[in-house]
Structure 1
Amino acid sequence: MFKSTNLTNSESISLAKEIVKIGVTDTPLTSLLLAKGLTEKANGTVHTWREKSYSDDADVSVIEGNEDVKFYQSGRAEMSNVLELFQKGVSVSGTANAINVQGQGNIFSSEVADRLTELKVNIERAVTKGVKNDGSATPFIRRMAGLETWADPTNLVTGATSKIIKEEEIKATVKKLWDQGLPTGEYFALVNADMKEQIDSLYKDKYNYVAQTDVFGLTAQTIITNYGRLHLLLSRHASADKMTVFDVNALSLSFLRDPQFEALAKTGDSVKGQVLAEGTLKVVSKKAVAQYTLKA
């Protein structure tokens, strides 16, 4: 972490590397995308891109020496998401900043680190289940559409039994992505604690493990199906009744302004600054997102 002694009132310091490492447990989706380097540059308050899709022509075989070439073009719908601005201020009195508490170090740097963690949690919440709003009406706050809103309508599965998840329904959700012809076979699923507990119970008698005499309990981390491997991400921000399955290679974070620290002008006997980021979630194709919903 940087030191407050390195700051001036005109500096803006990137925190792009620092934000990757902090709060990983509480920000599984954001941390996954950042760790895999799935970020890109945005250039406006609305980020626009073309959907990635593949032709599903049944027969492209031709005779030897064929001169009647048939040309193909993927249908590429225009897609977009709104960039959301996240900001947290830091203000420390001159006295507090001058005190060096053993084991804590400079209090201003510590406060900046804490605010950065909180900022990342807020980004995670928006990236997971944010509701799109262009900010044109009061209170004029732009909000992105989170991952839970991106599933293609043909990729939706609803449970058959009230509040009970079944193994065949998990497989059916993964199969939705397989049916779309996604090439990876490696998928991730965001699940809240209650649904994760149910999934753990499903596999309590179907697991491989390395015995440890001082560690007890059972959690399902990866489910292997005929349609691909499903890696479970426990998220406190995911909706309690939804499991959102996705191909991580179809997602990225698009930043107009990377996570950064900016020093603010000193007024009186205090040191001030802010951590901020402005970005959105990009989903290359809705077909790369499937969703299972528990029956109410």
Structure 2
Amino acid sequence: MFKSNNLTTTESISLSKEITKIGVQDTPLVSLLLEKGRTEKANGTVHTWRERVLDDTQDISVPEGNESVTFYQSGRAELSNVLEIFQKGVSISGTSNAINVQGQGNIFSAEVADRLTELKVNLEKAVTKGVKNDGSTAPFIRKMQGLEGWADPANMITGATSGQITEDEVKATVKKLWDQGLPTGEYFGLVNADMKEQIDALYKDKYNYIAQQNVFGLVVDTIRTNYGNLNLILSRHASADRLTVFDPNYLSLAFLRDARFEPLAKVGDSVRGHVVAEGTLKVASKKAVAVYTLKA
């Protein structure tokens, strides 16, 4: 709960719990990762990790008593993403801060809650389709690489028919993750409204298209395929021409500074502060992301 007596202290107040619960409908990807506890600590402006790729040697059979042992090791490609800073300021007059509006409570607290929701929406946009920029040139703003740009080249499909997705193409996109040997078989797909309408039409009146409401408060349609379940999530921030399928167990949000409120110095008869967060998207393996793109 946002309380004004907390917001006017000289210390920053963590809002990491609040940001998990707000704006779920408009921030499905961030909400999914937060709800699943898929977060970790970053320690710099660039977050770096090693991708684990299992050896795929086809034949490891040996004769009895074999003394010539062959040694293997997992691939450890270095991956990284840039941390992006999100900030929203709040400033109201001393008079407004003293007013307690019926049904709303303290105005400053309400403004902070609204700015936190807006910050989460901006985080969602960046995590979904941000374009990487290390901030080394003017205006020196760091930008993360969003999920849509993380797919392994082998996991990318372009539609065969202009402006129209087919059922076979939906299954082929899911199969890309199965071909990569991902063990879970439970995948999520971010899709914008126009493509979602097309997919709905494909599965209209079919028994294998199931609506469920038990995924972090959203209605999710599930397509059951031979290669795993695809849980479709409607996102207004996904590209209109793309379906991005991923395994959430390979994704996480890495924060140098989790969402927090920090008071700013008082200037005259005003009360000021800002909500700020600094983080990025970590994709443990590019093989856990597949992207279908409509043919233009």
Q: What TM-score do the two structures reach when normalised by structure 2?
A: 0.94
Q: Do 1:200 and 1:220's aligned partners in 2 also have CA atoms closer than 8 Å?
A: no
1:283 aligns with 2:290: no
1:110 aligns with 2:110: yes
Q: Do 2:209 and 2:224's aligned partners in 1 also have CA atoms closer than 8 Å?
A: no
Q: Do 2:177 and 2:287's aligned partners in 1 also have CA atoms closer than 8 Å?
A: yes
Distance, in Å, in 1 between the alignment partners of 2:62 and 2:119 is 56
Distance, in Å, in 2 between the alignment partners of 1:15 and 1:8 is 14
Distance, in Å, in 1 between the alignment partners of 2:85 and 2:6 is 26
Please report the RMSD computed on the Cα atoms of aligned residues, expressed in angstroms.
Answer: 1.6
Structure 2 counterpart of 1:129: 129
Structure 1 residue runs without a partner (length 5+): 211-218
Distance 1:182 1:294, change over 3 A: same
Distance, in Å, in 2 between the alignment partners of 1:236 and 1:209 is 21
Structure 2 counterpart of 1:80: 80
Structure 2 counterpart of 1:229: 229
Distance, in Å, in 2 between the alignment partners of 1:262 and 1:244 is 35
1:13 aligns with 2:49: no
Distance, in Å, in 2 between the alignment partners of 1:157 and 1:127 is 21
1:141 aligns with 2:124: no
Q: What TM-score do the two structures reach when normalised by structure 1?
A: 0.94
What percent of counterpart residues are identical?
78
Q: Matches of residues 1-296 of structure 1 in structure 2 within 5 Å? A: 1-63=1-63, 66-207=66-207, 221-296=221-296
SS state at 1:51 partner: strand
SS state at 1:113 partner: helix
262-271 or 140-149, which moves further after superposition? 262-271
Distance, in Å, in 2 between the alignment partners of 1:55 and 1:26 is 40
Report the Cα offset of residue 70 of structure 1. Answer: 2.5
Structure 2 residue runs without a partner (length 5+): 211-218
State the aligned residue count.
Answer: 288
One-letter amino acid of the structure 2 residue matched with residue 30 of structure 1? V
Distance, in Å, in 2 between the alignment partners of 1:106 and 1:175 is 52
More strand by proportion, 1 or 2? Answer: 2
Q: Do 1:155 and 1:177's aligned partners in 2 also have CA atoms closer than 8 Å?
A: yes
One-letter amino acid of the structure 2 residue matched with residue 243 of structure 1? L
Distance, in Å, in 1 between the alignment partners of 2:97 and 2:240 is 42
Report the Cα offset of residue 66 of structure 1. Answer: 4.6
Q: Do 1:16 and 1:259's aligned partners in 2 also have CA atoms closer than 8 Å?
A: yes
